[in-house]
């Protein structure tokens, strides 16, 4: 089954359309770019140049992906956006290409859901199965793991990280790294409020893993220990649990600090 393109849409030279691609009315696809098998562009969607979109993605009206980064140092370089499979971009979402000084590429993995008005800036690296709720915003150079829920109207400062399966409440402002597996909320004084037990249960995490994370949270933030003392104790007592081992690595690798409890 070949691609279907509405006659009102503009497809530039150098665009590769996979089998079963559907381009709705009044869309613009700049080249060079590639759109994977089964992907659908609804009306007025825009795809910029040097953009690769995987299979079975959906771009809703007025979404714009792969356009120039909002960076004053950008001078028109052929930087890239790479998008995986089964991603959904709802109305008015924007995802920008990378910058030369920031690695040259913005990446999204598979099965991400970007709600209306969400924004992913230049040079961000986003994993799989994340939800960015309405108007959630990632500044440049942000790293987001997998399985995260970033609440409506939340913002993540440039160069910050959001760990795997983190839950950010609506209107949260993250100016430091957001801990994996935890609930982080706050606009003026952003804090971690412990393990997102219910969310992890729904995702199929074992009771043992959740209990180990709870114990780690108590040691790290409520035992009155210095940072390295707490990390060493967690490693000794709970480091055999993969989720706790990842939490420890995440904290040790933090360059901007963490939002702690």
The catalytic residue among 122, 141, 165, 259 is 122
- In this structure, the strands spanning 191-195 and 182-185 are antiparallel
Selected catalytic residue, list 123, 128, 164, 177:
123
Decide if 122 is catalytic: yes
Cβ–Cβ < 8 Å for 91, 62: yes
**Catalytic hit among 140, 151, 163, 194:** 140
How long is the chain? 261
Phi and psi at 175, nearest 5°, equal -105, 0
222 is catalytic: no
119 has catalytic annotation: no
- Cite the active site residues: 122-123, 140
């Amino acid at each position: 089954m070949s691609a279907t393109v509405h006659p009102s849409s503009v497809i530039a030279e150098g665009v590769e359309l996979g089998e079963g691609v559907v381009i709705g009315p009044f869309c613009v696809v700049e080249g060079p770019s590639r759109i994977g098998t089964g992907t659908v562009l609804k009306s007025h969607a825009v795809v910029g140049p040097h953009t690769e979109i995987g299979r079975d993605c959906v771009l809703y009206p007025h979404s714009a992906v792969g356009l120039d980064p909002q960076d004053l140092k950008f001078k028109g370089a052929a930087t890239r956006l790479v998008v995986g499979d089964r991603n959904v971009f709802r109305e008015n979402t924007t995802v920008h290409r990378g910058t030369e000084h920031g690695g040259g590429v913005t990446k999204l993995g598979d099965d991400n859901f970007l709600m209306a008005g969400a924004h992913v800036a230049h040079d961000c690296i986003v994993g799989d199965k994340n939800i960015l709720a309405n108007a959630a915003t990632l500044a440049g150079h942000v790293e987001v793991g997998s399985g995260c829920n970033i609440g409506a109207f939340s913002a993540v400062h440039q160069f910050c990280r959001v760990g795997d399966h983190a839950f950010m409440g609506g209107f949260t402002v993250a100016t430091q790294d957001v801990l994996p597996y935890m609930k982080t909320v706050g606009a003026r004084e952003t804090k971690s409020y412990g393990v997102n037990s219910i969310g992890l249960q729904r995702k199929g995490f074992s009771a043992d893993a959740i209990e180990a994370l709870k114990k780690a949270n108590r040691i790290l933030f409520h035992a009155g220990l210095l940072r390295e003392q707490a990390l060493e104790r967690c490693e000794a007592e709970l480091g055999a649990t993969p989720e706790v081992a990842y939490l420890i690595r995440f904290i040790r690798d933090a360059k901007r600090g963490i939002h702690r409890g």
